Amino acid sequence: MGKNERTQIHVHKKKSTELNRSLTSGQMQMIALGGTIGVGLFMGSTSTIKWTGPSVLLAYAFVGVLLYVVMRALGEMIYLKPGTGSFADYASEYIHPAAGYLTKWSNIFQFIVVGISEVIAVTEYLNYWWPNLPDWISGLVVVITLTLANLASAKAYGNLEFWFAMIKVVTIIFMIIIGLMVILLGFGNHWHPLGFSNLWQHGGFFPGGVKGFFFSMSIIVGSYQGIELLGITAGEAANPQKAIVSSIKDIVWRILIFYIGAIFVIVTIYPWDQLASVGSPFVETFSKVGIAGAAGIINFVVLTAAMSGANSGIYSASRMLFKLSIDKQAPKIFSRLSKHVVPNVAILSISAGILFGFILNMVLSMVNKSVENLFVLVYSSSVLPGMVPWFVILLSELRFRKQNQAQLTDHPFKLPLYPLSNYFVMISLLVILAFMFINPDTRVSVSIGVIFILIVLLAYYLQEGRKSKA
């Protein structure tokens, strides 16, 4: 085993830019779960069901197919060329350096915005138990706690994320099992099976039509975003090839089972057109079978979901900032590693950005109560930048195939149906973006995403222009 492949990579004279390969396959999968199974499922499901009704199940399955193709394309490339920030590296190498630059900043923007929203969500969940606790105190404690976990080591981060994700996974599995008992056996309903009639009554299976079906996909894509974290964690995996193959094979199906299983239980137990009036569909599912303290249980779960989302955000964004610095596209200080072999300056900077955004939101909320809509706007504006890694992965894999034909002869993890699958997914994502412009609820959000991308590309070419003059 070569020096750069050893499980522990030491920092020599504090000038090394090699990260520590200390994450296991299990931790990598939990990191990906933490990035995807979060408030997008616990909160976003209400909006998706409102737009398209029970057919939301097909919408989640369809986007799941897109997700599978993206991750198989990523896995094919990582198997041959693992590295920190993998998909950003591939964007620079196989598309254009501007694509790599855009990918890194899009990832940073996406996860800072997600981190801000998750911390705000945490303060709201803590108010359930401590209504008099000032939001700024709970927000500050959360940011400091997660920052310290990320500064400790990649392994400490992985352990924390493992347990965060485990709580969510166990809760969803429990809910699916209980829900199926209600539907099939009548558990909690005087042993009168509920059946499946709610799936086609109340306006049919497709009450929102084609438009509502595609409207829901924008939120679903946003919910699934974060799974590409597996590409970033490959840089800190003990055995990148083996870990990434097993992780991708398992993670996509697990996510689909959790998402589709949970939503299936919800829309089967409750008429879809009544969900908007019952509060959290997850709380109501537990309440339906008479579980005492259902609201408290789910509040704890969504609290850990929000903590997990912010935790993943700090990890992902800090690694991308680290990569930008290594590539001399951000100040050199961001590539500095601590004695624990983590990019401490990058981590502190991302955490500071999340804390600043959280405080800014609090100030704006106090000045103008109607600014709560701004929070929703900012959160959803991360969807288009979050799509950037998916597009660059698919485009990169097209050129990757052409440039590595000899190495791909005996490749055990090639993308199926290449190149048709690449084009199918990219066209599907463009159609979803078109419907985001049509939908008045997401039009401003996707416009903000477009503006962000244009600003980043302008910054890149201005930076390159200064370099060429120098």
pLDDT one-digit tens code per residue, 223-262 = 888 777 666 665 556 676 777 777 777 777 777 788 888 8
Tell me the pLDDT of the chain averaged across its residues: 79
| Per-residue pLDDT tens digits for 89-133 | 888 889 998 998 898 888 888 888 888 878 887 887 788 788 888
435 pLDDT tier (thresholds 50, 70, 90)? very high
Architecture of domain 18-118+155-293+370-405+413-465: Up-down Bundle (1.20)
Return the amino acid letter for 63: V
Answer whether residue 221 shows pLDDT above 70: yes
Query: Comparing 285 with 437, which gets the higher pLDDT?
Result: 437
Answer whether residue 163 shows pLDDT above 70: yes
The candidate with the shortest Cα–Cα distance to 206, out of 59, 355, 371, 329, is 59
3-state secondary structure of 237: strand
Return the amino acid letter for 142: V
Question: Percent of the chain, pLDDT > 90?
Answer: 13
Q: Is 465 exposed, middle or buried (0-12, 13-18, 19+ CB in 10 A)?
A: exposed
What φ, ψ does residue 132 adopt, rounded to 5°? Answer: -95, 0
| Per-residue pLDDT tens digits for 401-426 | 888 888 887 788 888 888 999 999 99
What is the rounded CA–CA span in Å between residue 281 and residue 259?
Answer: 13
Which residues fall within 8 angstroms of residue 432, CB to CB, at 6 or more apart? 214, 217, 218, 221
18 pLDDT tier (thresholds 50, 70, 90)? low
Q: Residue 90's pLDDT is what?
A: 86
Domain boundaries, the chain: 18-118+155-293+370-405+413-465
Output the pTM of the full model: 0.81
Answer whether residue 309 shows pLDDT above 60: yes
Q: Residue 433's pLDDT is what?
A: 93
Query: Comparing 453 with 87, which gets the higher pLDDT?
Result: 453
Least confident of 40-44, 176-180, 264-268, 349-353: 40-44
Distance of CA 261 to the CA centre of its chain: 19
What is the rounded CA–CA span in Å between residue 429 and residue 445?
Answer: 16
CA atoms within 13 A on the CB side of 2: 2
Q: Residue 276's pLDDT is what?
A: 64
Q: Residue 3's pLDDT is what?
A: 38
**What's the angle, vertex CA 228, arms to CA 389 and CA 44, rounded to 5?**
90
What is the rounded CA–CA span in Å between residue 461 and residue 342?
Answer: 30
Q: Residue 6's pLDDT is what?
A: 38
| Per-residue pLDDT tens digits for 372-403 | 445 556 667 788 998 998 999 999 999 998 88
Q: Residue 28's pLDDT is what?
A: 62
Q: Residue 11's pLDDT is what?
A: 37
Least confident of 39-48, 125-134, 434-443: 39-48
Q: Residue 1's pLDDT is what?
A: 41
| Per-residue pLDDT tens digits for 319-332 | 878 888 887 888 88
What is the rounded CA–CA span in Å between residue 267 and residue 275?
Answer: 8
What is the rounded CA–CA span in Å between residue 211 and residue 94?
Answer: 35
